Structure 1
Amino acid sequence: MGSTQAAVSFLTNLARVAFGLGAAATAVNASMYTVDGGQRAVIFDRFGGILDETVGEGTHFLIPILQKPNIFDIRTKAHTFSSVSGTKDLQMVNLTLRVLSRPEQKQLPWIFKQLGLEYDEKILPSIGNEVLKATVAQYNADQLLTERATVSALIRSALTERAKEFNIVLEDVAITHLSYGAEFSRAVEQKQVAQQEAERSKFVVAKAEQERRAAVIRAEGESEAAKLISEATTIAGTSLIELRRIEALRENAATLARSPNIAYIPGDQQMLLAMNRP
């Protein structure tokens, strides 16, 4: 009987010790928290509210029940949102903007107090649409294409300034997509077709003009050639006739020389011809 009571007492004490150890382990675990790489913690205290200092990476202690850590991701994140905006010439444009953002580390307590952990989802789409609409309204639809770099820089500058008001740092802002309404797209297509037709007509006119000039130059060349031939014939006409007469006499002399019945008598005047009779 005595041994049974001793065993029960030992088990009871062991259970109390185990419970105490478990409670202590739970208390220790509850008083510790870990901040991973690329994160920061903002501590909420039930008596003091949001503490001004942020907590860096590593394992830290807090007062259980009275304090609670709120973990922020401070790495740069990409956000994409679209906006349908009206241009200066009343055309509707669909723009898609990509933003790389991160929170200002020193201002995390303010961000948590004013905006909460989902600060970027609450702020960036609204100020992004605001800046897009205000910027696009300053340009005509065709200027958004020809001056895209200028428009993108203006949007980035304005959006960066607006984000600073909420302690959000923008690493990059870029227009990833730009499209117009169906009516404007048809108008642009028709304009391109008209420009192509105009260029084709201009080419046809230029070709006809070149052919006309070539015909004029060719006719002038032929006229000049005929004029030169006529002048040459006029200048050398007498000499040419004399040359033809000499050639004819030479042929006649050669013919007579071959004839046996012809004799030649030289003289100072004209040549006398005598015929030998048998």
Structure 2
Amino acid sequence: MVNSALYNVDAGHRAVIFDRFRGVQDIVLPRIYTSIGEDYNEQVLPSITTEILGSVVARFDAGELIIQRELVSRQVSDDLTKRAATFRLILNDMSLTHLTFWKEFTEAVEAKQVAQQGAERARFVVEKAEQQKKAAIISEGDSKAAELIANSLATAGDGLIELRKLEAAQDIAYQLSRSRNITYLPAGQSVLLQLPQ
């Protein structure tokens, strides 16, 4: 029923509107024809398309235009639909089929991307070298510490080992004292709980 009430009227023509309850109406749709003319599609659409494309493209940089083509296309479609509505034109569909740049511009964008990748690669190499340097310093420090401990054991005898046992026993006693549970150690037992002497 609704489909039978919808008709397309070509530009420059008028339609007679018939209402079953009120009969033939005096209303026609002359606004586009009288304000723009029959060749509205050749006058209005190219100019607003150029206007909208310039406006949208100015919002993005070169890389974004290439990478975010879907977003650019959607923005152009939305803005163009709104702009066409000011001329009482309904834009059903719009798509960007081909987006090209000057050869020099495309080469510059590609060169910039290559340079960014090179910079990222160089940054990675520098960070890797820094990590290797830190690892070498730590390794050297560990070696030096092991050497010092070995030397102190050789010269001090068992004194260092006894000191470490006492420090460990002190730490265990402190932890047990903070515990809510009551812990009993049998008399004569070492705090180190039978660690080899």
TM bucket normalised to smaller = 0.5 to 0.7
Residue 6 of structure 2 is aligned to residue 53 of structure 1: no
| Separation in structure 2 between the aligned mates of residue 107 and residue 147 of structure 1, nearest angstrom | 44
Q: Give the superposition deviation at 1:228.
A: 1.4
**Residue matched to 1:233:** 154
**C-alpha RMSD of the superposition:** 3.8
**Residue matched to 2:98:** 177
The match for 1:126 among 34, 39, 47 is 47
Deviations 1:91-145 (CA, angstroms, capped at 9, x unpaired): xxxxxxxxxxxxxxx86444455533x6435532232123223443455434535
Alpha carbons of 1:177 and 1:55: their partners in 2 closer, same or farther (altered >3 Å)?
A: farther
**Residue matched to 1:197:** 118
**Length-normalised TM-score, structure 2:** 0.55
| Separation in structure 1 between the aligned mates of residue 16 and residue 112 of structure 2, nearest angstrom | 61
Which blocks of at least 5 consecutive residues in structure 2 are unaligned? 20-26, 159-197
Alpha carbons of 1:199 and 1:52: their partners in 2 closer, same or farther (altered >3 Å)?
A: closer
| Structure 1 SS opposite 2:81 | helix
Residue 149 of structure 2 is aligned to residue 186 of structure 1: no
Which is helix-richer, 1 or 2?
A: 2
Residue 186 of structure 2 is aligned to residue 223 of structure 1: no
Amino acid paired to 2:16: E
Check whether the contact 1:152–1:175 (CA below 8 A) recurs between aligned residues.
yes
Alpha carbons of 1:134 and 1:200: their partners in 2 closer, same or farther (altered >3 Å)?
A: closer
Which is strand-richer, 1 or 2?
A: 1
| Separation in structure 2 between the aligned mates of residue 54 and residue 119 of structure 1, nearest angstrom | 23
Check whether the contact 1:128–1:159 (CA below 8 A) recurs between aligned residues.
yes
Alpha carbons of 1:161 and 1:204: their partners in 2 closer, same or farther (altered >3 Å)?
A: closer
Amino acid paired to 1:53: V
The match for 1:166 among 87, 92, 96 is 87
Check whether the contact 1:41–1:55 (CA below 8 A) recurs between aligned residues.
no
| Separation in structure 1 between the aligned mates of residue 124 and residue 51 of structure 2, nearest angstrom | 48
| Structure 1 SS opposite 2:62 | coil
Q: Give the superposition deviation at 1:52.
A: 6.3
Amino acid paired to 1:201: A
Check whether the contact 1:160–1:169 (CA below 8 A) recurs between aligned residues.
yes
- Tell me which of the two structures has the higher relative contact order, counting C-alpha pairs closer than 8 angstroms and 6 or more residues apart: 1
The match for 1:115 among 33, 37, 41 is 37
**Residue matched to 1:155:** 76
| Separation in structure 1 between the aligned mates of residue 122 and residue 60 of structure 2, nearest angstrom | 32
Deviations 1:139-166 (CA, angstroms, capped at 9, x unpaired): 5434535666665455344423432243
Q: Give the superposition deviation at 1:231.
A: 1.6
Which blocks of at least 5 consecutive residues in structure 1 are unaligned? 1-35, 45-49, 57-105, 238-278
| Separation in structure 2 between the aligned mates of residue 222 and residue 132 of structure 1, nearest angstrom | 67
Residue 57 of structure 2 is aligned to residue 136 of structure 1: yes
